[in-house]
């Protein structure tokens, strides 16, 4: 039996990540063991420089150097498919999925350094940041998107609860960034020189600015790590959002828009159900 997986999917960066994870999970479910090799030479093509081979380890640590201790392989299949990007993130099986994310998608030293530089430059106080993440433009071809005002309803509720909150605005739609910087002029920010955004269209920044994909994909992965650390996240459903969850390793304090509905954080239990040690 060959224990090599060959990944051939090519689309957006986190779409490639989702399919890579999907193929790894399928291999484990079918063979009840880990693969020896995950060959991604023919994936992530949008982000390669000319004549580059497998660029996986520019983004993620070499899985051969990461222990398998937390990975459980038994008769029960791991419940994950790339279409889970459109699931309720509170229902994902993090206990089985996260050990695989840690092994195959732990960010590389270079990505961690990028995230640290951004964190220092912007003096990020994660406990007082709410992410407003809107993956728009061509995403509307795949799923329903909500209006910006719906994000503001949840953002205002969080602001009322925590007046110190600052809003990190992250989007590929220029209008979304403009809307929220105007709405929260004194307590919002975005990574102005580190991201790409375009006027609302059914296109993607990866097509419009193809020559910069190699650089901005790394910046975006670093920013995704940053978003995953923030106290609150308001987001839509898609590959970018689900990878925020995977790096966060949970769906706590997540406001997720999915197929016309908002899935909000679970309320704390009533006092009568809280056990005091």
Residues 103 and 127 in one domain: no
For residues 227 and 235, the answer to whether their CB atoms sit within 8 Å is no
For residues 235 and 79, the answer to whether their CB atoms sit within 8 Å is no
Confidence check: pLDDT of 176 > 90? yes
What pLDDT does 268 receive? 53
Q: To 5 degrees, how large is the angle CA 82–CA 42–CA 58?
A: 85
Residues 51 and 95 in one domain: yes
Residues 86 and 134 in one domain: no
Residue 115 lies in a domain: no
Residue 117 lies in a domain: no
Give the domain-ending residue among 66, 82, 109. 109
For residues 216 and 196, the answer to whether their CB atoms sit within 8 Å is yes
Residues 16 and 57 in one domain: yes
Give the domain-ending residue among 61, 85, 109. 109
Which residue's structure tokens are 């479910």?
A: 29
Residues 211 and 92 in one domain: no
- Average model confidence (pLDDT) across the chain: 94
Residues 134 and 195 in one domain: yes
The structure's pTM equals 0.94
**How do strand 254-258 and strand 261-263 relate by DSSP bridges?**
antiparallel
Of the candidates 181, 156, 153, 164, which has an alpha carbon nearest to the alpha carbon of residue 128?
A: 164
Q: What is the pLDDT confidence band of residue 258, given thresholds at 50, 70 and 90?
A: very high
Residue 114 lies in a domain: no
Give the domain-ending residue among 84, 109, 134. 109
Residues 103 and 167 in one domain: no
For residues 18 and 10, the answer to whether their CB atoms sit within 8 Å is no
Q: What is the pLDDT of residues 127-142, one digit of tens each?
A: 999 999 999 988 999 9
Residue 274 lies in a domain: no
Full domain range(s) for residue 51: 4-109
Residues 181 and 81 in one domain: no
Confidence check: pLDDT of 111 > 60? yes
Residues 97 and 173 in one domain: no
Question: What are the φ and ψ backbone dihedral angles of 131, each rounded to 5 degrees?
Answer: -85, 130
What mean pLDDT comes out for the span 243-270? Answer: 89
Q: What is the pLDDT confidence band of residue 123, given thresholds at 50, 70 and 90?
A: very high
Q: Which residues of 217-240 are buried (b: 16+ CB within 10 A; e: fewer)?
A: bbbbbbbbbbbbbbbbbbbbbbbb
Residue 15 lies in a domain: yes
What does the block give as tokens for 257? 């828009």
Q: What is the pLDDT of residues 51-100, one digit of tens each?
A: 899 999 999 999 999 999 899 999 999 999 999 999 999 999 999 999 99
Residue 253 lies in a domain: yes
Higher-confidence residue of 256 and 205: namely: 256
Task: Assign residue 188 the CATH number of its domain.
Answer: 3.40.50.11350
Residue 271 lies in a domain: no
Provide the number of structural domains found in the chain: 2
Residues 127 and 256 in one domain: yes
- C-alpha 15 chain-centroid distance: 10
């Amino acid at each position: 039996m060959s224990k090599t997986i060959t990944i051939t999917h090519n689309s957006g960066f986190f779409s490639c990540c989702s399919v890579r994870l999907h193929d790894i999970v399928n291999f484990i479910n079918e063979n009840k063991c880990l693969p020896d090799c995950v060959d991604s030479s023919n994936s992530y093509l949008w982000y390669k420089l000319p004549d580059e081979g497998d660029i996986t380890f520019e983004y993620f640590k070499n899985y051969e150097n990461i222990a398998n201790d937390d990975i459980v392989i038994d008769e029960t299949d791991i419940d994950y498919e790339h279409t889970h990007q459109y699931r309720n993130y509170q229902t994902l099986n993090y206990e089985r999925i996260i050990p695989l994310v840690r092994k195959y998608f732990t960010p590389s030293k270079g990505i961690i350094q990028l995230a640290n530089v951004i964190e220092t430059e912007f003096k990020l106080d994660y406990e007082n940041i709410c992410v407003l993440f809107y993956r728009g433009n061509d995403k509307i071809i795949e799923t329903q998107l909500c209006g910006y005002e719906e994000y503001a309803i949840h953002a205002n509720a969080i602001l009322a609860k925590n007046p110190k909150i600052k809003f990190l605005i992250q989007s590929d739609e220029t209008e979304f960034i403009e809307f929220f910087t105007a709405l929260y002029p004194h307590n919002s920010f975005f990574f102005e020189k580190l991201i790409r955004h375009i006027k609302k269209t059914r296109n993607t920044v990866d097509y419009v600015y193809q020559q910069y994909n190699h650089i901005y994909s790394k910046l975006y992965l670093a920013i995704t790590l940053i978003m995953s650390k923030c106290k609150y996240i308001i987001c839509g459903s898609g590959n970018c959002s689900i990878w925020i969850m995977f790096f966060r390793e949970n769906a706590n304090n997540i406001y997720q828009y999915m197929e016309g509905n908002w899935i909000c954080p679970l309320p704390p239990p009533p006092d009568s159900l809280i056990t005091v040690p």
